[in-house]
Amino acid sequence: MAKSQNKAKRLKLDKNDIVCPNCRTILNVSFELINEDYIQCDNCEKVIDNPLSKSGKFIVCNNCGINHELPKSIENDLNITCRDCGQEMANIYSDKYNPIACPNCFNEAHLGEEFLGDNNLICPFCGDEFKNPIKESKWGEDKTNNKKGKTNGNLRVSFGGQWFLFDSKTKIFVNNELHSTHSTKKGFLAIIPIESNSIQLKVVLGGIKSTVFEIDELNLGTNYFLELFYDDFRGRYSNDFNLKEYG
């Protein structure tokens, strides 16, 4: 006699429905609880993770250094508030976010739309005045008036941070030229303008251990997000990385 086989069936879940991993009850998460990291099952009363609050995107607070996962409900908001220290910070994943990095102190900030057309900018951290790279290219040409009518994209290099007893600096080299220096312990986000279809990215930890990434087939008009990982076994940045388009 042939044995019957169990066939998997796809659950029919409505918007904001989740399944309790303990009792398998389908729960509808109310709007008031969408951003809560944990919720309680109405059936078995077990406290469970709330998957609706997770976006898979992380932001490091510039004030306290805490790494936060960005809730889905606010992932496109320009300004968000740190849940630990209450400091307001710019959301790097927002479509409204215009990243700008000071060439003197390497601090990054959001450039408001009212300043996009300015030729020169003043860094709010060190007071240094520099040319607006969003308006002008490396050769002084206006990026906003190219043949396609589009601005060149950028490569955002992100690292969530790695705990050390003493902070070790990370240096980023782009095509063998020093781009910026960052805290390895707190993590960082480096903004690299895309000026060709390929970039050689070298990440040096503590001035000794380096990892080189050859990034090819880039689209000049596309924005990319590259996430770095730390290799605990080798004590340097891993050869593995996550590259994806955004915006």
- In the predicted model, is pLDDT for residue 40 greater than 70? yes
DSSP collapsed to 3 states, 186-205: CCEEEEEECCCCCEEEEEEE
Q: Are 21 and 43 in contact (CB under 8 A)?
A: no
Given pLDDT bands bounded at 50, 70 and 90, which one contains residue 232? confident
pLDDT of 66: 67
Query: Is pLDDT above 90 for 173?
Result: yes
- Residue 5 reports pLDDT greater than 60: no
Determine whether 40 is exposed, middle or buried from the number of CB atoms within 10 Å of its CB (0-12, 13-18, 19+). Answer: middle
Above 60 in pLDDT, residue 141?
no
Q: Which amino acid is at 77?
A: D
How confident is the model at residue 209, as a pLDDT?
87
| 180, pLDDT greater than 80 | yes
Whether the pLDDT of residue 116 is over 90: the answer is no
Whether residue 130 is predicted with pLDDT greater than 70 in this model: the reply is yes
Q: Give the pLDDT mean for 163-174.
A: 85
CA separation for the pair 150, 216 (Å, rounded): 21
Q: Which residue segments constitute the domains of the chain, with CATH numbers given?
A: 46-94 (no CATH), 98-151 (2.20.28), 152-247 (2.60.40)
| Distance in angstroms (rounded) separating the CA atoms of residues 217 and 175 | 15
Residue-wise pLDDT for 62-87, tens only, equals 666 666 677 777 778 888 888 777 88
In 3D space, the residue among 148, 158, 141, 160 whose CA is nearest the CA of residue 222 turns out to be 148
User: Is residue 21 predicted with pLDDT exceeding 50?
Assistant: yes
pLDDT tens digits for 204-228? Answer: 998 888 899 999 888 888 888 888 8
Rg (CA), the chain: 22
Q: Is pLDDT of 187 > 50?
A: yes
Residue 174 pLDDT: 92
With tokens 């520099």, the residue in question is 130
Is pLDDT above 80 for 155? yes
What's the distance, Cα to Cα, between the start and end of the chain in Å? 57
pLDDT at 204: 92
For residue 142, what pLDDT band results from cuts at 50, 70 and 90?
A: very low
Confidence at residue 148, expressed as pLDDT on a 0 to 100 scale: 42
Q: Are strands 88-90 and 79-81 parallel, antiparallel or unpaired?
A: antiparallel
The answer, yes or no, to whether residue 58 has pLDDT greater than 80, is no
Using a pLDDT cut of 90, give the percent of the chain over it.
8
The amino acid sitting at 219 is N
Q: What is the mean pLDDT of the chain?
A: 77
